[in-house]
Amino acid sequence: MSKKVVTFLDEDHVLRIVWLGLNDAAPGGAQEIRDSVAPEAVDPAALTGRAGGLHPSDGYDIRYGADARQSLKDASVVVLRRGAVTAEMIASAPNLRLIQRLGARSDGIDLAAAKAANVAVSCLPRRTLAYTAEHAILLMMALAKRLLPADKVTRSGDYDPRLVKPVNDIAYNWPGLTDIGGLYGRTLGIVGLGEVGALVVERARAFDMKIIYSNRTQLPAERERVLSVSYRSFDGLLAESDFVSVHASNIGPNDRLLGRLAFNAMKRTTFFINTSRGRLVDEDALYEALTNGVIAGAGLDVHRVEPRPARDRFAELPNVVMTPHLAGGSRLGLIDEAGAIFDNMRAAALGQAPPHGRILP
């Protein structure tokens, strides 16, 4: 490459971790790296060391924020998460050798133009997103199978032994828990079918669930066919679903997207799952729905206020399962994601194919 210019197209909290790894001398950078994974502990060198050979002191010009948006003409590597790379942008960057997306989707990247310009494209699947999808399924199963009440009564022995009649030393459901179900054959409604939503769909299919979705924009028919999903209006999805799982974008118009009207539109047997962002939900409305039997239960990994205050009103509800915003796994996983990007950048500098991600075109 004639110039070593790395341009970040998005200002994003995850990409900022990558930027901090490259900018080992950034003022306050070491503390920001520590803060980004707190309360887990990390040595900042675990990140900056992974970027060895790619720092400004090695001749790299790292552009992030306003400077990056001004021009791409010198870029040799473009890094993005949610933005787009058009044919015009590629044509304006004669030194470009790598388009690196953090995420498995290639949406918004002109692959034909990249191929014509001999520019490698890496779309890096995120383990943290796969974990989040798994967690959504976990919360569904915990609610449907009444995991917390079952665990509690098994530990406490708080049941009437006079009602239990073991046969050959086998006593099915000896506490007599009711409304025990599962996922098989149930309808899952995905609100916001982006990358995480699609990962949830893939996993839900293993349980033979019927899957419907609501989106700002309906997916192309071929994408719907591949995912085996059917489009519904937002209201239609709420009325039909046995499980409603939220994966919508954390943008202003979606603030309190799920409120009183939404919960009232659901069936009384519906379970509500949120592994996206707490601000998408009106928690007053959710509490009313849970306590008044408007919906059957909720699984919450994200919360309107984080950390959630200890022993708040939701903690007293038996039909709620809560976790402390850990669906994506350890925050240290960001170090590995950044490390894969650094490896791809080194390969691009040597004219080699990127070793990580979905390599296109």
Cα–Cα distance for residue pair 272/245, rounded to 1 Å: 6
pLDDT digits (tens, 9 = 90+) for 120-130: 999 999 999 99
Whole-structure pTM over 0.85, yes or no?
yes
pLDDT band per the 50, 70, 90 thresholds, residue 2: low
DSSP 56-76: GGGT-EEE-THHHHH--TT-S
Residue 178 pLDDT > 60: yes
Q: Across the beta sheet with 230-231, what order do the strands follow?
A: 230-231, 210-214, 187-191, 243-246, 271-274, 297-300, 320-322
pLDDT recorded at residue 69: 63
pLDDT tens digits for range 183-199:
999 999 999 999 999 99
Domains 5-124+331-360 and 129-145+181-322 share a fold: yes
| Mean pLDDT computed over 270-292 | 97
Q: Is the pLDDT of residue 274 over 70?
A: yes
Q: Is the pLDDT of residue 220 over 60?
A: yes
With 0-12 / 13-18 / 19 or more C-beta atoms within 10 angstroms meaning exposed / middle / buried, residue 173 is exposed
Q: Which residues are catalytic?
A: 277, 306, 325
How far is residue 273 from each of residues 12, 162, 213, 299, measured CA to CA in Å? 25, 37, 14, 5
pLDDT by residue (tens digit) across 97-134?
999 999 999 989 999 999 999 999 999 999 999 999 99
The β-bridge relationship of strands 210-214 and 230-231 is parallel
* DSSP bridge pairs for 297: 271
Average pLDDT, integer, range 140-163: 96
Mean pLDDT for the chain overall: 94
Provide mean pLDDT across the span 68-86: 86
Determine the pLDDT at residue 179: 94
Confidence of residue 353 (pLDDT cuts 50, 70, 90): very high
Fold annotation for 129-145+181-322: Rossmann fold (3.40.50)
- What is residue 1's predicted lDDT score, i.e. its pLDDT? 45
Q: How confident is the model at residue 253 (pLDDT cuts 50, 70, 90)?
A: confident
pLDDT per residue as tens digits for the range 227-238: 999 999 999 999
List the domain boundaries for the chain: 5-124+331-360, 129-145+181-322
Q: Across residues 208-219, what is the average pLDDT?
A: 97
- The pLDDT, as a whole number, for residue 359 is 87
Give pLDDT, residue 313.
Answer: 97
The pLDDT of residue 11 is 86
pLDDT, residue 177, reads 95
Band the pLDDT of 70: cuts 50, 70, 90. low
Domain 5-124+331-360 listed as CATH 3.20.20.70:
no
Q: With bands split at pLDDT 50, 70 and 90, how would you rate the model's confidence at 82?
A: confident
- The answer to whether residue 3 scores a pLDDT higher than 80 is no
| H-only helix segments in 206-332 | 221-227, 234-240, 260-265, 283-291
Highest-scoring range by mean pLDDT, 66-70, 158-162, 202-206: 202-206
Residues linked to residue 322 through DSSP beta bridges, in sequence order: 300
